[in-house]
Amino acid sequence: MAGLEELTAWVDEVAALTKPDRIEWIDGSRAQHDRMLRQMVTEGKLIKLNPEWRPGSYLARSHPSDVARTESRTFIASQREEDAGPTNNWADPTEMRATLNGVFDGSMRGRTMYVVPFSMGPVTGPFSRYGIQLTDSAYAVVSIDTMTRVGSAVVERIAEGAPWVRTVHSVGAPLQPGQQDVSWPCNEEKYIVHYPETREVWSYGSGYGGNAILAKKSFALRIASVLARDEGWLAEHMLLIRVISPEGKAYHVAAAFPSACGKTNLAMLRPTIPGWRVETLGDDITWIRPDADGRMWALNPEAGFFGVAPGTGESTNVAAVETLWGNTIFTNVALRPDGDVWWEGLTDTPPANLIDWQGNPWTPASGRPAAHPNSRFTVAASQCPQIAEDWEAPEGVPLDAILFGGRRATNVPLVVESTSWTHGVFLGSTISSERTAAAEGTVGELRRDPFAMLPFCGYNMADYFGHWVRVGQGLRYGAAPRIFQVNWFRRGADGRYLWPGFGDNSRVIEWIIRRIEGSAPAAETPLGRVPRVDDLNLEGLDVPAEDLAELFAVDPASWLEEAALTEAFYDTFGTKVPAALRAELEALRYRLRAVAS
């Protein structure tokens, strides 16, 4: 039981620093979960929604200053600065520990410190990982309880000697005796600090999202990416789906998209082409491991969805809307007069009167959003109507394809297949979205988000690129997932989207599956392999021929300009970018010049 002694000693140590009034261990029971929800309603920290419309559901309103991840205050406190790399905020671990000891001293005074044991992945799964979060936020507790597997079974595993990650969170708002609490306690000073060598996360000052639910981005990506590097697997910001063909064959696809690029819509895709089905396995994080036979297996380590509400509606993602029928915590959405919720995009026509996310009256003439653009829903994945029956299979599923995508108005075709694993890693390393100037038809300024991991990689991204290359070298020939780049957002010269997107993205997925099967041809371009227009299933789709041509057009001059931008991006990492990716860049330039001449 040495593991249990180590755990209790650590809890006592943090309690001595933060000085809570009491300590409560979370056992994962429904009774404890419901009691905490009722208590937060009594304290004015949650609003209970009308059970007729949204049973078992609640609305939280954050402080206006605490509405999103705080990237500028997120740190990687590695022993060496070069291990954090130029895309992370590095902090000296010794100095940061001294700083955090200062802000955490007495930070939980007047509050309860909750001990939350959680598992990423099924508790007894061979690839699951365990963590403990200490927090003074009941909102964080009920959110973690939805997003992970929480309970005494995790403590039993730790007591048996399983390794675990330490996470500590405080809203940074101690209470003096008799002081009245506020509905959303937080602090203007914020820190989200990761110690990769010691597998720790310390978060202070924020009660929102990934700043407070430390099992999510902090553990499952930033710390897990370091674990994956050290142990030979991949921790990725990817959705995971099963695609079932009309012939009944199942294929598993993971996809990495930056925010606002259609990730949740693809995770819950409902194909518009007959005979095809998609089952949801995960919407945000995927852990991928090679097996002894050189094939890759993918696992969603989460138990819930923490999704962005605005833009989620019956016309864009009916499966997500159906998932939110009840037992959901909404944060910073608007409240309807009938006690239900609303946000921009839920319906085409907004209600005549609402209470906005800050608690103020709202009408369509108010001139401001009713819901915050980053408002959220937290709900169990099991409520998704198209969740796969085996979505909690402890070993995961065999992975057939990996997709990378960004929001590109120009240049990037609708779909490109890589010619090799290394070429696919090159595509992933160049993922970007264009800023608003790009709508004018120039390459524009690119916002880089390689692998959709720029905010979430716990170490130097150039080393991360190298890790991807090395993992591929260990895969059996013919068994590695095929890698594709997709772009649903290409625009014409008049600014129109050229592709309808949403459910019609299944037509691209169909071509990808047929490529895996070996039954669909492809055309060679300097960028990689693309479908010929006749190879796409366009039945019932009214897309002009000139739009289809533009969707796959490759302009060598514009791509040579983009290659220069890629080289400049690589140069920010100095000599750390793998030589294999530099070679892929030069090969791209060679092919572009050959076409241009």
User: What Cα–Cα distance (Å) separates residue 78 from each residue in 230, 293, 443, 574?
Assistant: 14, 34, 36, 19
Q: Find where tokens 């403990």 sit.
A: 132
User: What Cα–Cα distance (Å) separates residue 507 from each residue in 250, 340, 418, 488, 550?
Assistant: 16, 36, 18, 11, 17
User: Cα–chain-centroid distance for residue 449?
Assistant: 13
Burial of 187 (0-12, 13-18, 19+ CB in 10 A): buried
Query: Residue 561: what residue type?
Result: E
Name beta bridge partners: 402.
254, 483
Active site residues: 261
Burial of 381 (0-12, 13-18, 19+ CB in 10 A): buried
In the DSSP assignment, the letter for residue 50 is: P
501 contacts: CB under 8 Å, gap ≥ 6: 262, 265, 488, 489
**Separation of alpha carbons 532 and 517, rounded Å:** 17
Name beta bridge partners: 239.
255
**Separation of alpha carbons 484 and 181, rounded Å:** 51
In the DSSP assignment, the letter for residue 181 is: P
User: What Cα–Cα distance (Å) separates residue 345 from each residue in 33, 55, 350, 426, 485?
Assistant: 31, 22, 9, 35, 27
In the DSSP assignment, the letter for residue 489 is: T
* Among the listed residues 235, 220, 395, the one whose alpha carbon sits nearest the alpha carbon of residue 306: 220
Q: How many CB atoms lie within 10 A of CB 597?
A: 6
In the DSSP assignment, the letter for residue 66 is: -
Q: Find where tokens 């929604």 sit.
A: 49
**Separation of alpha carbons 287 and 298, rounded Å:** 6
**Separation of alpha carbons 589 and 560, rounded Å:** 6
98 contacts: CB under 8 Å, gap ≥ 6: none
User: What Cα–Cα distance (Å) separates residue 343 from each residue in 139, 149, 319, 364?
Assistant: 21, 29, 16, 12
* CA contacts within 13 A on the Cβ side of 291: 14
Token pair of 193 as six digits: 């600090």
Name beta bridge partners: 193.
75, 202
**Separation of alpha carbons 597 and 595, rounded Å:** 5
**Separation of alpha carbons 154 and 431, rounded Å:** 37
Phi-psi region of 194 (alpha: psi -120 to 50; beta: other; left: phi over 0): beta
Q: Find where tokens 């960028």 sit.
A: 527
80 contacts: CB under 8 Å, gap ≥ 6: none
